[in-house]
Amino acid sequence: MSNNDEILNKLQTIVYQLQVVSSNQIDVLELNQIETDLESILPQLQFEMTDARMDGNWAEANELREAYEECKNALERVRAAIIKSTIIGINQENLTEMRRILDEVQTTSKTQKKLKLIVSSLRLVQKLFR
């Protein structure tokens, strides 16, 4: 499942980008980049979900459907933040969660765990824009 690796790499880039934001705030330019990255992940998740369904792998298809929905929700929150033109603050708890996710990305090896990590990463992105 190299596509899952690719999705995880994109999410790792998003989380890393959020982690290194200067002054712990995200501006509209950074939000635009995150929006673009999430937009590119959506069709990949949809493709993987369709592929899993065609293979009859319903457990994986359900996890991918959850990841797809989380990605859509995260994208909607990012777009809402862009429309509001707000600056999003990142608190210490979110920084700690980002570090944990980045550590997990580096140690993940099984597809099942990768899908859970994809969902966790997307939930973190959503959480930042609540």
Q: Which amino acid is at 92?
A: Q
The 10s digit of each residue's pLDDT in 11-63 is: 888 887 777 765 566 777 888 888 999 999 999 999 999 999 999 999 999 99
Q: Give phi and psi for 93, each to the nearest 5.
A: -60, -40
The strand ranges marked E within 28-92 are: 88-89
Kindly report the pTM of this predicted structure: 0.69
Q: Do the Cβ atoms of 1 and 111 come closer than 8 Å?
A: yes
Could you tell me the residue ranges of all domains in the chain? 2-128
